[in-house]
Amino acid sequence: MPIRRLPPEAVNRIAAGEVIERPAAAAKELIENALDAGARRIVVAIERGGLASLRVEDDGAGIAKDDLPIAIERHATSKLVAGEGGDVDLLNIATLGFRGEALPSIGAVARLTIVSRAQGAGEAWRIDVEGGAVRPVSPIAWTGGGAGGTKVDVRDLFFATPARLKFMKSERAETMAITDMVKRLAMARPDVAFALESEGRVLFRASAEADPEGEGRRRRLAAVLGAEFAPNSIALDQTRGAVRLTGFAGLPTFHRGTREHQHLFVNGRPVKDKLIVGAVRAAYQDLLARDRHPVVALFVDLPSEEVDQNVHPAKTEVRFRDAQLVRGLIVGALSHALAGAGHRASTTTAGAALGAIRPHFAPQPPLRAWQAAETALTDFQFDAPSGRVFSAPSSPVYGGGVGDGGGAEAGGPPQSAALTAPPRAGEHDSDAVFFPLGAARAQVHETYIVSQTEDGIVIVDQHAAHERLVYERMKAHLAAGGVPRQALLIPEVVELDPAEAEQLLARAGELSELGLVIEGFGGGAVLVRETPALLGQIDAKGMLKDLVDDIAELGEAHALKEQLEAVCSSMACRGSVRAGRRLTAEEMNALLRQMEATPFSGQCNHGRPTYVELKLADIERLFGRR
Ligand code: ADP
Ligand code: MG
């Protein structure tokens, strides 16, 4: 077949396939154009998910009459200036657009009308493109407010490419994608007012904020992510080299079921960059179950020559010159912030618990109400966050001085999480209420510790809390060179299935690094000589059986140290503080003090909270005292 040049309409339709794969992508291009034009106010109106109609109005610079026909030409842009010899500096891009592809692509596959009045010009002009056919510019009365601006009206998107139209999801899904897109751009630019309407109904509105890098950003994020985000997140601000990271990291207990709640921006451009996504995952790795995801809003700012923004037609991916630096910055800043948050758990946790014990649950017997509270805790909810968790000290200030056996993280690895620590000399019960997790008052159902704080009560899931403590201790010990072991006075013989025993003994070396020393004893018998000291007394048989299961599940390839989480929870499960064991007051208080001194103790290894706090004020409200 002879080689032919494609006609321009075909070229534009092909480009449209990449640049505007769905209505949300078209909305993004038009909003970015408005932002590039310096708009302070952007109104987006859609019908039928943007497929019937998508309109974007702005009060930006506008387009002069003579520029209108050029704006809809392919590769025509006002945002890059070619130097001598025609070269352009693609590493020095300060605008969101630069490829000159959006308007011609949209014009090729839809009915496009642009009405614009350049700032300061007397009259407004209009141009129409229908499936690639351009009509001449004509004058039109300006109905937009202010001195000028631009209205871009896109009707019957993809009417000229029926194949693409077939691939559209439901109108509802497209509406949601557009909403998401508008919100992402709104997060990047708190200084600009945004409104989104669908079929005349307002879906999102945010007024312009002063101080877009400080308080204004916080307010805008609250407008987009909800009021719960601020109290459940930690502010970040770190610089490495020329790269600055700001924004907010959601507490691990504030997790969600999808990654859609991770909002990433590079030099103000919303991106879905793999490097950043990977860095976020790494930072939260051992704080969340595999299928749960944190909520974050991260803003990476760096000199434009340090990042290539021209690697993706829709510009959602970027390439960093020094990828390791950026990754290190993100992982480091997030890990640091999360460690600093220590035992903070999400405020929504208390909210959910309160919701569950509200009077409308009253007809149920009390036990049922608590079960409901538990369900509410696992099925994380955004609503009803009326409870509050104390605001955590930014570093574990209780770390040093809390009980000698209480795990002072500061000086070397702690000795024991086995809760044998007596309260510090001179520490009276009345003092203990001033600790964040308060003074233990009771243990209920051999599972929960109820403690009194200065202005509320705390309910701790003793098992979840202990599991977390063991895990953090193990990590600290391993990093410091080894897990302390305690020799059993009389070694315990555990009978296992011979094949299981063999599997377990094959990993004996690794297990001894984790504090568990075992030997073969003939047949299926295994001799347990030493156990991890931090577990206290253990049920050796149960633990070995759990470990056999873990090892079978992990397969040969995985080092136990890498699977520490699984191994620790199996060990902690058989340690002294499992659910169903009665604890003394000393043990309970020791556990509370250790939690306060341990990073990440606000959630168990699966991101479930280890405790909830109910403020007296909320409890009083429950009883109608307020
Ligand atoms: P790009 O944004 O990559 O330059 P587009 O096809 O999106 O390409 O737009 C082409 C040109 O039209 C822009 O460079 C800009 O000069 C002009 N333009 C588009 N939209 C607007 C707008 N809302 N306000 C002012 N100028 C605009
Ligand atoms: Mg553009």
The closest ligand to the CA of 148 turns out to be: 1
Pick the atom of ligand 1 nearest to 104's CA: 6
| Structure confidence at residue 555 as a pLDDT band (50, 70, 90) | low
The C-alpha angle 535, 573, 508, rounded to 5 degrees, equals 65
Of all protein residues, the one whose alpha carbon is nearest to atom 2 of ligand 1 is 97
What's the CA-to-centroid distance between 32 and ligand 2, angstroms?
6
Of all protein residues, the one whose alpha carbon is nearest to atom 25 of ligand 1 is 62
255: β partners: none
Residue range 578-604, pLDDT digits in tens: 666 788 888 899 889 888 888 777 776
Residue predicted with more confidence, 214 or 329: 329
What's the CA-to-centroid distance between 71 and ligand 1, angstroms?
6
Phi, psi of 326 (to 5 degrees): -65, -45
- Range 565-587 average pLDDT: 76
Q: Is residue 554 helix, strand or coil?
A: helix
329-347: burial string, b at 16+ Cβ within 10 Å, e else: bbbebbbbbbeebbbbbbb
Strand 448-453 versus strand 485-495 pairing type = unpaired
Pick the atom of ligand 1 nearest to 78's CA: 14
**pLDDT given at position 103:** 95
- Range 253-266 average pLDDT: 85
What's the CA-to-centroid distance between 105 and ligand 1, angstroms?
12
The closest ligand to the CA of 39 turns out to be: 1
> Is the entire prediction scored with pTM above 0.85?
no
What's the CA-to-centroid distance between 427 and ligand 1, angstroms?
69
Q: What's domain 482-573's architecture?
A: 2-Layer Sandwich (3.30)
**pLDDT given at position 344:** 64
Res 59 pLDDT > 90: yes
Residue range 514-531, pLDDT digits in tens: 889 999 988 889 999 999
What's the CA-to-centroid distance between 213 and ligand 2, angstroms?
25
CB atoms closer than 10 angstroms to residue 49: 25
**pLDDT given at position 370:** 29
CA distance 110 to 115: 16
| Structure confidence at residue 465 as a pLDDT band (50, 70, 90) | confident
Q: Which of 29, 33, 79, 117 to probe ligand 1 with, by most ligand atoms within 8 A of CB?
A: 33
CA distance 229 to 222: 7
**pLDDT given at position 301:** 95
Looking at the chain, the whole-number percentage of residues with pLDDT higher than 90 is 37
**pLDDT given at position 186:** 97
Res 412 pLDDT > 60: no
Give span(s): CATH 3.30.1540.20, the chain: 374-474+578-622
| Structure confidence at residue 174 as a pLDDT band (50, 70, 90) | very high
- Side-chain half-sphere of 364: how many Cα atoms within 13 Å? 14
**pLDDT given at position 37:** 96
Res 509 pLDDT > 60: yes
**pLDDT given at position 107:** 94
The C-alpha angle 600, 604, 605, rounded to 5 degrees, equals 90
CA distance 179 to 194: 11
| Structure confidence at residue 252 as a pLDDT band (50, 70, 90) | confident
- 489 class by beta-carbon count within 10 Å (0-12 exposed, 13-18 middle, 19+ buried): exposed
The closest ligand to the CA of 31 turns out to be: 1
Residues in contact with ligand 1 (CB, 6 Å cut-off): 29, 33-34, 37, 58, 60-63, 71, 77-79, 97-103, 150
Q: Which of 20, 36, 57, 312 to probe ligand 1 with, by most ligand atoms within 8 A of CB?
A: 36
Q: Are 461 and 447 in contact (CB under 8 A)?
A: yes
Res 419 pLDDT > 70: no
Of all protein residues, the one whose alpha carbon is nearest to atom 18 of ligand 1 is 33
Q: What's domain 8-80+91-205's architecture?
A: 2-Layer Sandwich (3.30)
Hey, which CATH number is domain 210-340, 3.40.50.720, 1.20.5.440, 3.30.230.10, 3.10.105.10? 3.30.230.10
Res 502 pLDDT > 80: yes
Q: Which residues contact 220 (CB under 8 A, 6 or more apart)?
A: 186, 187, 190, 206, 209, 212
Q: Report which listed range, 154-158, 275-279, 471-475, 499-503, is most confident.
A: 154-158
What's the CA-to-centroid distance between 304 and ligand 1, angstroms?
20
Pick the atom of ligand 1 nearest to 29's CA: 7
Of all protein residues, the one whose alpha carbon is nearest to atom 20 of ligand 1 is 33
What's the CA-to-centroid distance between 153 and ligand 2, angstroms?
15
Residue range 73-117, pLDDT digits in tens: 888 888 887 777 778 777 777 888 888 889 999 999 999 999 999
Q: Which of 30, 32, 77, 154 to probe ligand 1 with, by most ligand atoms within 8 A of CB?
A: 77
Give span(s): CATH 3.30.230.10, the chain: 210-340
What's the CA-to-centroid distance between 310 and ligand 2, angstroms?
13
What's the CA-to-centroid distance between 152 and ligand 1, angstroms?
11
Looking at the chain, the whole-number percentage of residues with pLDDT higher than 70 is 83
Q: What is the mean pLDDT of the chain?
A: 80
Of all protein residues, the one whose alpha carbon is nearest to atom 7 of ligand 1 is 102
Res 207 pLDDT > 90: yes
**pLDDT given at position 606:** 63
**pLDDT given at position 607:** 67
Res 452 pLDDT > 80: yes
Class of domain 374-474+578-622: alpha beta
Q: Are 289 and 607 in contact (CB under 8 A)?
A: yes
